[in-house]
């Protein structure tokens, strides 16, 4: 990543299991006018983390972003029926020099999020 340009990370915790949610497919999108453009993707690691959603060398410039978590495939792989097939979190980056961490606390019938550090 270029000096002074920070990335976007996430961490998913499965609160119903009391452990990190490994293998959750994640897509990062940036709003361009009325449309969304995919700018990064991946899956959470064994610790439930996706350490950088942007390609190497690319930072999070000022914009509105959306992280989409494919919770249906995560729960299906565990033989669990969930209520929310996808969780989408929109947030705004105003300072490209700051790190943006967007955690997700997940269970089959609910979720919450906050701005992490």
Beta bridge partners of 49: 11
pLDDT for 51: 86
Residue 81 lies in a domain: yes
CATH (domain of 102): 2.60.40.180
8-state DSSP, 41: E
If you average pLDDT over residues 40-60, what whole number do you get?
83
Residue 3 lies in a domain: no
Residue 2 lies in a domain: no
- Return d(Cα 5, Cα 61) in angstroms, integer: 8
C-alpha closest to that of 90 among 105, 68, 75, 58: 68
Q: What domain range includes position 36?
A: 8-113
At 83-101, the pLDDT tens digits run 999 999 999 998 877 888 9
Residue 1 lies in a domain: no
Residue 26: is its pLDDT beyond 70? Answer: yes
Beta bridge partners of 25: 43
Cβ neighbors of 114 (< 8 A, separation 6 or more) are: 103
Residue 86 lies in a domain: yes
- Return d(Cα 45, Cα 23) in angstroms, integer: 6
Q: State the pTM of this model.
A: 0.90
């Amino acid at each position: 990543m270029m000096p002074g340009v920070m990335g976007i990370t996430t961490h998913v915790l499965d609160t119903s299991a009391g452990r990190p949610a490994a293998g959750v497919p994640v897509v990062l999108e940036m709003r361009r006018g009325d449309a969304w453009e995919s700018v990064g993707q991946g899956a959470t690691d064994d610790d439930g983390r996706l350490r950088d959603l942007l390609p190497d060398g690319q930072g999070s410039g000022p914009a509105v972003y959306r992280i989409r978590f494919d919770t249906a495939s995560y729960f299906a792989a565990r033989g669990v029926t969930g209520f929310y097939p996808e969780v989408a979190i929109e947030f705004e980056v105003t300072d490209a020099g700051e790190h943006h961490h967007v955690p997700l606390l997940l269970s089959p019938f609910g979720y919450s999020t906050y701005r992490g550090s």
